[in-house]
Amino acid sequence: MNAYEEYMKEVSRPMREELTTAGFDELTSPEEVDKFMKNTNGTALVVINSVCGCAAGLARPAAIASLENDQKPDHFVTVFAGQDREATEAMRGYFTGVEPSSPSMAILKDGELKHFIPRENIEGFEPEDILDQLNAAYEKYCS
């Protein structure tokens, strides 16, 4: 690992831990992503995490706050764009018809993409607005 990669790994650690400490499972390899996608039934929230302070700093708190909702997905996972590139690419491969976006959030049901919140619907919004988007998707797909 070169000095830049080591630096970025250290910089991203708190951003990873913000989600994993809250209960998200981190998928760091294409194999973990494929195993999750092929073996998981029910609903899932996938957060494509990012180092971007403006948008990701809004996405993570909203995703964590959504865990408090009575109606929520069965599973919570995250991949880290720019850090775990192969895992992120593998996850994005399951999002057919959606442009890559980070950070972003996806609601899956039995492995099928049902709802996608791209960066453009995160950046510039308040965490409460992002939480409202998640809660509306939960109401529609997680009942």
Give me 87's structure tokens. 């895992």
Other residues' Cβ atoms within 10 Å of the Cβ of residue 98: 13
The verdict on whether 54 is a catalytic residue reads yes
Total residue count of the chain as it appears in this document? 143
Q: Are strands 104-109 and 43-49 parallel, antiparallel or unpaired?
A: antiparallel
**What CA–CA distance (Å, rounded) separates 73 from 143?**
9
Q: Return the axis-axis angle of helices 53-65 and 127-141, rounded to nearest 10°.
A: 50
* Catalytic-role residue among 11, 54, 98, 136: 54
Catalytic residue among 15, 47, 52, 137: 52
Residue 142 catalytic?
Answer: no
Show which residues are catalytic. Answer: 52, 54
